[in-house]
């Protein structure tokens, strides 16, 4: 059967099948995983398969770019499968080009997007991709110690840095704000709402982390470039930088007593590894691969990406979460020459997470497994796998005291409107501990972050990846003491007063140090105006709108004090 006949046949399927396709695929999840990879333009070894349909070099180059922009997030760099299924030639050759074109064009109920019928790909691009995935996947180069040292720069050595704070900024209330598409972060004074400095960084900074002392800020881009910023300088700026791979998401510093500011760690998506560095210079000290077997089927996986990393408050350990194998690694950094790693089998597709209010239990989302893994950092063991709703994405989550269940930690979801509350007190509220004790209903799926503060009675939940602009441009807020009353919608993008027609997606609530303000990014395209809206937590009304032509594609914001002390 030819392509045209297959397309006609599929188009003639019952409407129920097509409806199922739309129902089962979470648009927010598709957007999330389809974000461009930093490997898009990296030179790779390309091998052709003589049994596969022929392709020109130009077609190869075009297909590789499309794959890393739209497909690698789900199917993996090596096409071995990640949150999506494997697409290696041993599977794809048997399917044939015509079948693959229909699959790519129309998608599937299991979660494959309908790339052509949605308008994301042309018929020609679908044909190129169907042929491309029958060839051997290109292999990115490794990135070892020598490569890292070649990128390592100490811009201002420790001996030449200030011995005391040289500025009048309230460092505790500075917000490190990601300017996603410009390769920068904006350091914004939380007191005056003015930009202190625009600091050059890697591509699409994923997170900012504060050292234990609060002096240094570490940011990491998707291109695995780490920048170290000294907040004591007259104008805070970079003092060191390094690349620890070709694509990455996570950075953290040592927090245990006696090791404050001594070490930093970064985890890479490619190569699959983590790197321990000196905390004051970013000099790389140790590189550890994460390649290994999956926790469920015990099958070897060549590409287990490092997701979130946090510093333990109970031991000199980093908690390293490995996505594809489903392992949480407790990395003891007290003796790097005799590194001790405790491996905890949790659940596959680990992603982001945060501490409970006691900072003993790390709550990490295994997003495509629809679970939250509870890891005890004191005993170095898995406490519980908690079933939650569809594709949890908590950011760091939100801790508060529930009127009935006591201390809870919460997460929103990419796949639906559920907000899961998990009990976290095994002493005074044992009967509720590490169970989903309640489920709130937000305004829709596509949530990336939710947030509260110990001094606040509110819980804010965003939905920036929801396909409905009314939802993506607003947030909801719950009264923690009256959760049964539902939520109130705050029209954040409307309050921003932007004049253009940008996407205006509202993302990532972040409190100031005092807990009486909540900051929201109103995120539009690079060529559109964006803003930050500051809301009064008491009145739930806009307090300040920060507009500046330098605020290009603002997304994540990290308050120095709250990040330093894991307050969320």
Active-site residues: which are they?
71, 74-75, 112, 351, 393
8 A C-beta contact, residue 136 and residue 129: no
Nearest to 325, CA basis, from 273, 247, 259? 273
Peptide bond into 271 cis (omega under 30): yes
How far is it, in rounded angstroms, from Cα 242 to Cα 488? 44
Q: Is 491 helix (H, G, I), strand (E, B) or coil?
A: coil
* Cα–chain center distance at 153: 26
Alpha-carbon dihedral sign for residues 212, 218, 219, 224: negative
Cα separations (Å) of 182 from 179, 243, 299, 408? 6, 18, 40, 37
Backbone angles phi, psi at 495, to 5 degrees: -65, -25
Q: What is the 3-class SS of 513-540, one letter each residue?
A: CCCCEEEEEEECCCCCCCEEEEEECCCC
Q: Which residues, in sequence order, are CB contacts of 161 under 8 Å at separation 6+?
A: 230, 232, 233, 239
| Helix-then-strand count for the chain, H and E | 12, 35
Each as own residue / partner, the long-range contacts of residues 72-77 (CB below 8 Å, 24 or more positions apart, any chain) are 72/37, 72/39, 73/32, 73/33, 73/34, 73/35, 73/37, 74/33, 74/34, 74/111, 76/303, 76/324, 77/37, 77/39, 77/137, 77/140, 77/247, 77/269, 77/270, 77/303
8 A C-beta contact, residue 423 and residue 405: yes
Residue 191, CA atoms < 13 Å, CB-side half-sphere: 6
8 A C-beta contact, residue 353 and residue 307: no
8 A C-beta contact, residue 465 and residue 448: yes
Nearest to 269, CA basis, from 462, 77, 492? 77
8 A C-beta contact, residue 454 and residue 394: no
């Amino acid at each position: 059967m030819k392509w045209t006949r297959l397309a006609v046949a599929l188009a003639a399927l019952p409407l129920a099948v097509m409806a199922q396709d739309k129902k089962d695929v979470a648009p927010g999840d598709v957007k999330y995983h389809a974000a461009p990879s930093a490997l898009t333009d990296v030179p790779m070894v390309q091998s052709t398969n003589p049994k596969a349909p022929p392709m020109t070099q130009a077609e190869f180059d075009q297909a590789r770019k499309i794959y890393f922009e739209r497909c690698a997030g789900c199917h993996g760099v090596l096409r071995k499968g990640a949150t999506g299924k494997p697409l290696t030639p041993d599977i794809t050759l048997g399917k044939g080009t015509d079948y693959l074109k229909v699959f790519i064009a129309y998608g599937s109920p299991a979660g494959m997007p309908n790339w052509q019928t949605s308008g994301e790909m042309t018929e020609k691009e679908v044909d190129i991709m169907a042929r491309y995935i029958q060839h051997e996947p290109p292999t990115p180069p490794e990135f070892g110690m020598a490569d890292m040292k070649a990128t390592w720069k100490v811009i201002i050595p420790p001996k030449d840095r200030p011995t005391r704070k040289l500025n009048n900024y309230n460092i505790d209330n500075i917000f490190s704000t990601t300017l996603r598409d410009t390769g920068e972060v904006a350091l914004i004074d939380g007191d005056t709402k003015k930009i202190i400095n625009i600091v050059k960084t890697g591509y699409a900074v994923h997170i900012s982390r504060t050292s234990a002392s609060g002096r240094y800020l570490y940011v990491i881009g998707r291109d695995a470039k780490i920048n170290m910023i000294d907040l004591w300088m007259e104008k805070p700026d970079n003092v060191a930088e390094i690349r620890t791979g070709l694509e990455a998401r996570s950075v953290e510093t040592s927090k245990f007593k006696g090791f404050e500011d001594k070490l930093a760690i970064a985890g890479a998506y490619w190569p699959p590894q983590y790197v321990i560095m000196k905390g004051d210079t970013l000099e790389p000290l140790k590189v550890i691969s994460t390649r290994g077997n999956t926790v469920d089927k015990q099958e070897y996986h060549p590409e287990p990406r490092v997701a979130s990393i946090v510093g333990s408050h109970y031991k000199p350990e980093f908690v390293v979460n490995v996505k594809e194998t489903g392992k949480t690694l407790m990395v003891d950094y007290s003796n790097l020459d005799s590194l001790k790693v405790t491996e905890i089998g949790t659940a596959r597709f680990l992603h982001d997470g945060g501490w409970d209010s006691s900072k003993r239990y790390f709550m990490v989302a295994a997003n495509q497994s629809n679970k939250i893994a509870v890891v005890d950092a004191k005993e170095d063991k898995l406490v519980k796998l908690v079933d939650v709703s569809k594709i949890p994405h908590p950011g760091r989550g939100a801790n508060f005291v529930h009127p009935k269940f006591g201390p809870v930690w919460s997460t929103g979801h990419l796949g639906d409107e559920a907000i899961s509350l998990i009990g976290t007190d095994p002493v005074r509220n044992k009967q509720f501990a590490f169970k989903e004790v309640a489920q709130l209903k937000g305004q829709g799926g596509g949530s990336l972050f939710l947030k509260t503060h110990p001094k606040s009675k509110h819980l804010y939940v965003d939905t920036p990846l929801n396909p409905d602009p009314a939802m993506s441009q607003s947030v909801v807020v719950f009264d923690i003491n009256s959760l049964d009353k539902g939520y109130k919608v705050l029209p954040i993008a409307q309050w921003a007063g932007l004049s253009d027609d940008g996407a205006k997606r509202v993302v990532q609530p972040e409190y100031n140090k005092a807990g009486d303000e909540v900051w929201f990014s109103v995120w539009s395209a690079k060529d559109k105006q964006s803003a930050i809206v500051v809301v009064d937590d008491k009145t739930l009304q806009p307090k300040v709108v920060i507009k500046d032509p330098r605020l290009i594609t603002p997304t994540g914001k990290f308050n120095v004090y709250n990040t330093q002390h894991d307050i969320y």
